[in-house]
Amino acid sequence: MPTQTGSAPAVSLQGHAATGRYIYRAKAPRSQPLEAEHAKLTHALAVHRQLLSHAASAIRTLTAARNELIAQALEDGLTLTTVSTVTGENLRALRTIGLAYDDLHPSGLPRNAHVAALKQKSAELRAAERHRDQITERREALMVMALRKQVCDDLELASLTGLTPDHVRRATRGSVRPA
């Protein structure tokens, strides 16, 4: 009977690491240019995710400020149609905004001051929404590029962008997909 001296050698079976954890081997390792492309796209998508977060935050802030201006203008006697013309909001939304601020008192500002403030805040809000839309379009272009170059799949793109895999598929519908 053979005797065993010392420790047993570490044996690595196909699919198992020496630590006993499973190693995913379904894909071949990426080549160096593909790794570099993956790193660039991953970084660009992370930057766009952060830019979208900042844009959404700015839009929320501007919307809150504009809504407060709307409520104050309504409290000071501006008509719904005047405010609707200046801001571009529909009458029902304006009524809802006006009713949400029930603790306002008349400020005594003239009509022209309210109209000018509403025009300025509405223009800032529209500019912020256009900026967000541009970032979203660039993000979708990056997703299409990643799929065409076969750098990322739908699930990886979903995790990088913070979207659901279904949203990624809808956003990249019509683009050339890898076989």
User: What mean pLDDT comes out for the span 5-23?
Assistant: 55
Task: Identify the band that residue 147 occupies on the pLDDT scale cut at 50, 70 and 90.
Answer: confident
Q: Tens of pLDDT along 56-66?
A: 999 999 999 99
Residue-range domain boundaries for the chain: 32-168
Q: How confident is the model over 97-118, as pLDDT tens digits?
A: 999 998 888 888 999 999 999 9
Over residues 22-56, the pLDDT tens digits come to 665 556 555 667 788 888 998 999 999 999 999 99
Question: Which residues, including other chains, have CB under 8 Å from residue 165's CB and lie 6 or more apart?
Answer: 154, 155, 158
